[in-house]
Amino acid sequence: MKRLVSLPFTFALMNWAALAGLYYFITGKKDVWSKSKSSHVHKN
């Protein structure tokens, strides 16, 4: 019974994610680490 409602919900949510993904892409809000410049290396 639970699956009867959770499956349509999951399907709808995953498709809504595609629309949200487009929004994040267009607005540049991405859920990843962001940019910068410097780095240094520890050598063992």
Partner 1 sequence: MIETIFWLSFTIVFYVYCGYPVLLVLWRRAAARPVKKRHWEPTVTVVIAAHNERERIERKLQNCLSLDYPSRKRQIIVSLDGSSDGSEFLVWKYVSQGVELVHSRSHAGKAAALNRALKRATGEIIVFADVRQTFDRNAIRELVANFADESVGAVSGELVLMPTDPGRHLQLGQKQEEATTDVGLYWRYEKALRSMESEIHSITGATGAIYAIRRELYKELPQDTILDDVLTPLRIVLQGKRAVFEPEAKAYDAVACCSRGEYGRKVRTLCGNYQLLVQCPLLLMPWRNPVFIQFLSHKVGRLLVPWALVALVVTNLSLHGGVYALTLTLQAAWYAFAIVGYALSRREATEPLVIPDENERAERAA
Name the site residues for partner 1 (rule: CB under 8 A): 2-22, 24-25, 30-44
Q: Least Å distance between CB 29 and partner 1?
A: 9
Distance CA(2)–CA(4), nearest Å, equals 5
Query: Around 35, how many Cα atoms within 13 Å sit in the side-chain half-sphere?
Result: 3
Q: Least Å distance between CB 1 and partner 1?
A: 10
Q: Least Å distance between CB 24 and partner 1?
A: 5
From the list 11, 12, 29, the residue with the least C-alpha distance to 21 is 29
